[in-house]
């Protein structure tokens, strides 16, 4: 059995939540947030076709680069920064254990 | 005044399938949707994306699913109020519901079904200072009548199909068109991207990338937009600013109809018929919630089916209703059409 990883998520009120994420059921960050009932809408269901799960990566973890779809969506999203990512495109893996991430403002 | 048996708010897959199940019970449906076409999210957000969990369709594009549903319900002649949002629900003296849209269209029905998905699609508004002060005074998010832009100086922002398409279209009628996008890359159809490139090369439009509108200026009416282009701020004189960043769903006025709402969804009785706390008002599909709810199209189809049985009992409390299988009884359309299984026959072999 794979060990859960930990994600530190800062919500829009600045409150930090420690999330425990399993690795064996292919979850992404948007889904983990929804499972914890955090205010992430995930309107498009994870297709990188809305920006409701946009977040800012605040730790120095190396994460896979943005895909073309994600890049395109972020180019039309609001409040975008260099460290912006769509939560739905970040798969849970050992490489992101301890990730610190902040939710972008809702649109 | 539009009168019908079942008034469905939301013409996504769940709302469309409800027309079929209602039709089998000889109940007529009318649908209201804020989008100009049926299909909801499937049409607006991901028409070209495949869905893999529709029973008996190993793979189907969301847009094709909508087309098939429209074909399936065609015999039941559904009618539509499209491009309008339902804003009020009022119970009348004779136990009907009066639903009025933002354009004042009135609908009367004994049963109202909310199949509104994640809500009404509204334009995504960029976080530009003072944007809302100029709404309708130079700022528009939707182009209803292109003639309004005749000989006007127009600034469009966005990088998707609508920004590209309207740039191409308005170039013909506006005095000038400036297209502003945060990146050099556009994600619209290749053909549109190339057309815009040609227009730029010929000097018929201004293209500013990577750039962003950061502020608006004007007194009563918009005079100019302030653009950040490669770190420099500059002012562009214009009559119109059209931010085209797609649409996003918001639950909207439904939230104020006295329905029990939990986490942005309508609470229903899933053990029975998906009725809300207002008898005669049902909620099906992604818009509802109950213990164990899954936001799946296939679950919406099931909910629509059970809802129709209950709606029938509400409309005809004294009539008996027996479940009939379409394979046995066929599908008798309101248009006089009849689809039925071919009858087997017996032939003697001599």
Kindly list the structural domains of chain B, giving each domain's residue range(s) and its CATH number in brackets, ordered by start: 2-122+248-339 (3.50.50.60), 125-245 (3.50.50.60)
* Interface list for A 36-95 with B (CB within 8 A): 37, 41, 43-44, 47, 49-50, 52, 71-72, 75-76, 78-80
Closest CA to B214 of B138, B126, B139: B126
Nearest CA in chain B to A49: B45
* Closest to B168 measured CA to CA, from B211, B144, B199: B199
Q: Digits of tens for pLDDT over chain B (350 positions)?
A: 999 999 999 999 999 999 999 999 999 999 999 999 999 999 988 898 999 999 999 999 999 999 999 999 999 999 999 999 999 999 998 899 999 999 999 999 999 999 999 888 889 999 898 899 999 999 999 888 899 999 999 999 999 889 999 999 999 999 999 999 998 888 888 899 999 999 999 999 999 999 999 999 999 999 999 999 988 999 999 999 999 998 888 888 999 999 999 988 999 998 899 999 999 999 999 999 999 999 999 999 999 999 999 999 999 999 988 888 998 889 999 999 999 888 777 788 88
Cα(B232)–Cα(B230) distance, integer angstroms: 6
Global pTM value: 0.82
Pairing of strands B281-283, A16-21: unpaired
The span from the CA of B9 to the CA of B4, in Å, is 13
The interface predicted TM-score of the complex, written ipTM, equals 0.76
Test B45 with A52 for CB contact under 8 angstroms: no
**Residue A62: what pLDDT?**
83
Q: Does A104 touch chain B (CB under 8 A)?
A: no
Q: What is the Cα Rg of chain A in Å? A: 13
Tell me how far apart the alpha carbons of residues B143 and B149 are, in angstroms, rounded to a whole number: 9
Q: φ and ψ at B206, to 5 degrees? A: -100, 135
- For residue B114, what pLDDT is reported? 98
Structure confidence at residue A1 (pLDDT)? 65
Residues in chain A with CB shorter than 8 Å from the CB of B187 are: 72, 75-76
Q: Where are the domains of chain A?
A: 9-98
In CATH, what is the architecture of A9-98? Roll (3.10)
The answer to whether B45 contacts A75, with C-beta atoms less than 8 Å apart, is no
Closest CA to B121 of B83, B161, B88: B83
Residue of B nearest to A40 (CA): B263
Two tokens, residue B313? 């009992």
CA distance A35 to chain B (A): 13
- Pairwise CA distance, residues B159 & B330, whole Å: 49
Cα angle A78, B263, A41; round to 5: 25
**In chain A, which residues have pLDDT < 70?**
1
pLDDT at residue B121, as a whole number: 85
Taking an 8 Å cut-off on Cβ atoms, the answer to whether A50 and B45 are in contact is: yes
The three-point CA angle B252-A77-A60 to 5° equals: 125
Q: Order of strands across the sheet with B261-262? A: B261-262, B265-267, B288-289
- Peptide bond before B210: cis, by omega within 30 degrees of 0? yes
Interface A-B: count of C-beta contacts within 8 A:
46
What tokens appear for B275 in the block? 């009725």
């Amino acid at each position: 059995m794979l060990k859960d990883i930990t994600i530190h998520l800062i919500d829009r009120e600045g409150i930090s939540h420690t999330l425990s994420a399993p690795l064996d059921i292919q979850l992404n960050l948007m889904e983990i947030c929804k499972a914890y009932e955090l205010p992430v809408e995930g309107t498009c269901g994870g297709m990188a076709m809305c920006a409701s799960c946009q977040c800012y990566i605040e730790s120095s973890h190396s994460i896979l680069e943005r895909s073309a779809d994600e890049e395109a969506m972020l180019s039309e999203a609001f409040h975008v920064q260099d460290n912006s990512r769509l939560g739905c495109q970040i798969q849970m893996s050992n490489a992101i254990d301890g990730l610190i991430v902040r939710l972008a403002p809702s649109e | 005044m539009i009168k019908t048996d079942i008034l469905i708010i939301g013409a996504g897959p769940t709302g469309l399938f409800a027309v079929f199940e209602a039709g089998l019970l000889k109940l007529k449906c009318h649908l209201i949707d804020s989008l100009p076409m049926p299909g909801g999210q499937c049409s607006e957000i991901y028409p070209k994306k495949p869905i893999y969990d529709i029973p008996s369709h190993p793979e189907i594009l969301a847009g094709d699913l909508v087309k098939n549903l429209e074909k399936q319900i065609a015999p039941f002649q559904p009618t539509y109020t499209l491009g309008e949002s339902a804003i009020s629900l009022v119970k009348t003296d004779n136990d009907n519901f009066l639903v009025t849209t933002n354009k004042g269209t009135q609908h009367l029905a004994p049963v109202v079904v909310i199949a509104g998905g994640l809500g009404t699609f509204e334009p995504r508004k960029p976080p530009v200072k003072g944007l809302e002060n100029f709404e309708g005074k130079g700022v528009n998010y939707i182009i209803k009548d292109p003639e309004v832009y005749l000989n006007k100086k127009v600034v469009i922002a966005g990088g998707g199909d609508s920004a590209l398409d309207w740039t191409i279209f308005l170039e013909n009628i506006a005095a000038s068109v400036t297209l502003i996008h945060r990146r050099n890359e556009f994600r619209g159809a290749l053909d549109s991207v190339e057309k815009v490139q040609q227009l730029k090369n010929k000097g018929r439009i201004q293209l500013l990338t990577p750039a962003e509108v950061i502020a608006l200026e004007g007194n009563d009416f918009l005079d100019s937009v302030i653009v950040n282009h490669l770190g420099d701020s500059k002012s562009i004189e214009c009559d119109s600013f059209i931010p085209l960043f797609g649409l996003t769903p918001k639950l909207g006025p439904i939230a104020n109809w006295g329905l029990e709402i939990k986490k942005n969804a309508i609470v229903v009785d899933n053990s029975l018929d998906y009725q809300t706390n207002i008898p005669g008002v049902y909620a099906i599909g992604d818009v509802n919630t109950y213990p164990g709810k899954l936001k799946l199209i296939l679950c919406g189809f099931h909910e629509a089916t059970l809802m129709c049985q209950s709606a029938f009992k509400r409309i005809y409390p004294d009539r008996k209703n027996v479940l009939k299988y379409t394979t046995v009884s066929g599908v008798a359309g309101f248009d006089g059409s009849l689809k039925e299984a071919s009858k087997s026959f017996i032939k003697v072999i001599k």
